[in-house]
Amino acid sequence: MCLLQGQKEMRRKRKKNKGLESQNVGVNDCMMKLLLMLVFLEKNLLLIATNAMNMPQDHLRPLKRAMAIEEAEIISGKFMEKASIEENVAEVAYMDLLPDEILSLIISFLTTRDVVRTSVLATKWRFLSASPLNLDFDWPSIRGMKRGGSRCLMRSDPEDTEEESQSLLTAILNGTGSFEFFGISYNGIRAMIVGLGEVESSDESSGDEVLGIEFGGRAIGLSRMVPDEADNLWLAYNLIAEGDTVQAVTVRNVLREAASGRTRCRSSRTCEAEIGNKS
Amino acid sequence: MASSIENNNEKLTLKSSDGEEFLVEKHVALQSTLLQNMLDSDCSSADVIPLPKIDARTLALVLGYCKKHADASSSKQGELNSFDSEFLKDMDMGALFNLVLAANFMEIKGLLDIAAQKIADTIKDKPHQEVREIFHVENDYTPEEEAAVREENRWAFEGFP
């Protein structure tokens, strides 16, 4: 931040140089060069100062945040430029000019159904729609979810056709892409699942929960991970590529409050999914 | 540092990308995390603070928001909420997007949230063709690819053209 001070100093120096220059008209080739250099330096200083102002506050993910900011700068710069050039603002492709972090924020305000539908807007949106962290799951539109019982989201309902479950699975892997929804078992009509394993239920034995995602890609080989925090999901999302086979297993011990009293049930599901490369 | 923040009469000058200068009270500027950090670092108090990414029209809107939120007491949450919804009402898309970018740049979380929410509300329940039109999203899918994506997520498209 103190670069601003440096900038002021420079300005003062420059003024002094200017004064000198006017005194020795015609002699000061050298001085002119110096002046140009100072102007150049000052410009860069301003740039550095601007960058310094944008230093990430979030120390947890400095790299990601710094990247996002760089992008935001470039893009917002472009946006302003474009907006001012084009009188007809309606022609500006707004969405393309917003940095991804803002688009993700916008998406986070949508229901899952709307989020999934954005994937068809353009190729970029297909990947964007996989990024929201706080999806509001629109339960009635999810067929695989059975109300009032302990069920895995993926495969639960015998009435579901193979095609329906497959479509749902692909929707989750490709469309909403959030592994937060893996291995959910819940009793109740509406649950808000925030983060992996944080299931809002009267679960007193969360230690029993085992969540694993296996992915065997050509480049990666076979890997296994047990995600236990949101960042792991981000990792998985970036690692899993087209053609990978993803397997998720969950074992839960759920203690639930039913009308008939407390019952204990255990559920275990295995799901396999091929992402992409199907057609 | 603390003493300079507590002094509400202090003002600072913000300069927009198109060269207009805005004199704002410090407690208003503090709504912006970016400015707050700058003030905390205690370097720029005497300077004009350049905001090279924000034009005058947008900056005026942003500062209007900041002023309202800085001046309102915490007990008037309802009033603030209605101000927020009025604030974005009837705003054209260009202004709204500039506002989102400015709020992001200046790190004003409340403003960023309500502006993003407003854009989300525009997308909500609209057929994707219409969303593309509103935001001028260029469709770079081939018709076959688009059909495939739709097919994959058929459940989400039920009831939409």
Q: If you measure CA to CA, which chain A residue comes closest to B118?
A: A106
Within 84-113 of A, beta carbons closer than 8 Å to B belong to 84, 89-99, 101-102, 105-113
B112: enclosing H helix or E strand: helix B109-123
Q: 10 Å Cβ neighbour count for A49? A: 19
- Partners of A1 on chain B (C-beta within 8 Å) are 38, 41, 43-44
Highest mean pLDDT among A166-170, A245-249, B48-52, B154-158: B48-52
Strands B48-50 and B11-15: parallel
B112 CA to chain A: closest CA distance, Å?
A: 9
Instruction: Tell me, yes or no, if A44 comes closer than 8 A to chain B by beta carbon.
Output: no
Q: Convert the pLDDT of each residue in B95-149 to its tens digit.
A: 899 999 999 999 999 999 999 999 999 888 888 888 888 888 888 889 998 988 8
- For A191-230, the pLDDT digits (tens) are 222 222 222 223 333 332 223 222 222 222 344 455 555 5
Facing residues of A267 across strands? A252
**Residues in chain A, total:** 279
* Local mean pLDDT, 10-residue blocks, chain A (279 residues): 47 48 45 49 40 36 35 39 42 73 79 77 74 38 28 34 46 37 26 26 30 28 51 57 54 48 45 43
ipTM confidence score: 0.83
Between CA B94 and CA B98, with CA B95 as vertex, the angle to 5 degrees is 85
Tell me the C-alpha distance between B104 and B127, whole Å.
28
A169 Rama class: left (phi>0) / alpha (psi -120 to 50) / beta: alpha
**Could you identify the residue written with the tokens 């008209």?**
A25
Q: Which residues of B touch A102 (CB under 8 A)?
A: 100-101, 104, 112, 116
Q: How far is the alpha carbon of A90 from chain B, nearest alpha carbon, in Å?
A: 7
Report the alpha-carbon distance of residue A187 to residue A254 in Å, rounded. 9
Q: Which two structure tokens, joined as six digits, stand for A170?
A: 């692909």
CA distance B161 to B123: 15
Joined together, the tokens standing for residue A156 give 């639960």
Q: Give how far A59 is from chain B: nearest CA, Å.
A: 14
Q: Is A279 on the interface with B (CB under 8 A)?
A: yes
H helices of A54-195, in order, are 62-85, 94-97, 100-108, 112-118, 123-128, 162-170
- pLDDT for position A244: 52
Query: Beta strands A210-217 and A221-225: pairing type?
Result: antiparallel
How many contacts does A have with B, using Cβ atoms within 8 A?
A: 165
- Count other Cβ atoms within 10 Å, centred on residue A29: 8
Chain Cα centroid distance, residue A93: 21
How many of the other CB atoms lie within 10 Å of CB of A258?
Answer: 11
| 0.80 surpassed by pTM | no
Q: How many CB atoms lie within 10 A of CB B136?
A: 15
Q: What is the pLDDT of residues A174-187, one digit of tens each?
A: 333 333 333 322 22
Do B15 and B51 meet the contact criterion of CB atoms below 8 Å apart?
Answer: yes
Rounded CA gap, B38 and B1, in Å?
A: 11
User: Of B18, B149, B157, which to mutate for an interface test with A (greatest number of A Cβ within 10 Å)?
Assistant: B149
Closest CA to B112 of A222, A73, A105: A105
Q: Which of A158, A154, A171 is nearest to A250 (CA)?
A: A154
Pairwise CB contact (< 8 Å): A76 & B101: yes
pLDDT of residue B155: 73
- Looking at the DSSP bridge assignments, the partners of residue A271 are A248
Give pLDDT, residue A6: 46
Phi and psi at residue B125, to the nearest 5°:
60, 15
Q: Which residue has the higher pLDDT, B88 or A184?
A: B88
Chain B residue numbers touching A142 (CB-CB < 8 A)? 155
- A170 to B100: CB separation less than 8 angstroms, yes or no: no
Q: Angle, to 10 degrees, between the axis of helix A29-53 and the axis of helix A3-23?
A: 160
